Amino acid sequence: MLSLRTLKTTLAAACCFGLIASASSLAAPAPEAGTLKMGIEPWLGYGQWHVATAHNLYKQQGLDNVEVINFAEDKDINAALASGQIDAANIATHTAMGMISAGLPVKVVLLLDRSQTADAMLVSKDVTSLKDLKGKQVAYEEGTTSDILLRSALAKAGLKYSDIKPVPMPASSAGSALIAKRVPVAVTYEPYLSVAMKGDPSLKMLYSGASDPGLISDVLVVRDDVIKNKPGQIAALIKTWDAAVAHYQANTTADRAIIAKAVGASVEDLNTAFDGVKYYTLAENKAVLGGEYSTTTFPHVLKAATEAGIISQPVTPAQVIDASFVNAQ
């Protein structure tokens, strides 16, 4: 699960990159009163929020009431964010671009993770190369990291989208369709990849996020009105993520068990999957958000998302990212 996800520096550096940095959030005030509602999906890349819940890290950063709301599909979490039912959401970089391109008032405030082999294309034994995708049915969830990864694989093989027979379905169902032999190809993400390969050991991983480094990443987006009215909550949320990553790095085995349970799988099934996810610390955010992510990753993902029809109007880093929170920590 993909995707796709990053950006940040000081206020002056942010201006150089065209990034947004509001003076109010630079002050990093204490967390405001009230509940912070955050959307999440069962993806390993968002696992540090489960670590934070298990170890009471939200309250340690002054957040007394964080409501983590689970969603099954991208379209549902996107709708909740658009309607104001949630204040923040964990989504793929390309999804954030698509939201802002469509006029949704949100900003990326933190790079969470990069998927390496945790977003992938699984194939049956009769598909031995990307060229073999031609004419084949491919199960995947439209508008997600799976969509972006599929387009990348087709481009690498010199194929067009019209060369395959798309079979749109939720990412959670794609692996099952492959096991049941309803399709010969499925693009999905963890934990569904591991579940599918356990169900049918003959399946092969033909293409993954590692095949196109940086393509699949995830970010934390926050509604503009929440950034304006509750900057202290957002600053504390970012500190919570960093504290969770630090705890995970020091207690990897125990925290992997927490994350695995939260996403509905066993830690044994996901050990390899965990190795395919890179979590970003606050310090790493400061280093890459205003650098490599904005200058290299951002345009690459934007191109792929545009070709997939996910983004209708071009967007720039300045429209998408608020760098002030990570820079102020």
Residue by residue, pLDDT tens for the chain (329 residues) are: 433 333 222 223 333 333 433 333 344 679 999 999 999 998 889 999 999 999 999 999 999 999 999 998 878 998 999 899 999 999 999 999 999 998 999 999 999 999 889 899 999 999 999 999 999 999 999 988 899 999 999 999 999 999 999 999 999 899 999 999 999 999 998 888 988 999 999 999 999 999 998 899 999 999 999 999 999 999 999 999 999 999 999 999 999 999 999 988 888 878 888 988 999 999 999 988 777 888 888 888 998 888 888 888 899 998 999 888 998 87
Distance CA 173, CA 169 (A): 6
pLDDT given at position 2: 36
Q: Please, what is the Cα angle at 260 between 259 and 264, to 5 degrees?
A: 120
Q: How many CB atoms lie within 10 A of CB 248?
A: 21
Quick one: pLDDT at residue 78? Answer: 87
pLDDT given for residue 28 in this prediction: 60
At residue 199, the pLDDT reads 93
Looking at residue 205, its pLDDT comes to 96
Tell me, what's the pLDDT at 8?
29
Phi, psi of 100 (to 5 degrees): -70, -35
The four Cα atoms 181, 187, 190, 191 give a dihedral, to 10 degrees, of -20
Token representation of residue 135: 């004419």
For residue 176, the Cα-to-chain-centroid distance in whole angstroms is: 22
Half-sphere exposure of 27 (CA within 13 A, CB side): 12
* pLDDT (0 to 100) of residue 21: 39
CA–CA separation, 4 and 280 (whole Å): 13
Size (the chain), residues? 329
pTM above 0.75, yes or no: yes
Reduced 3-state DSSP string for 270-322: HHHHHHCEEECCHHHHHHHCCCHHHHHHHHHHHHHHHHCCCCCCCCCHHHHEE
Q: Which of 189, 167, 199, 172 is nearest to 120 (CA)?
A: 189
Please give the pLDDT value at position 291.
78
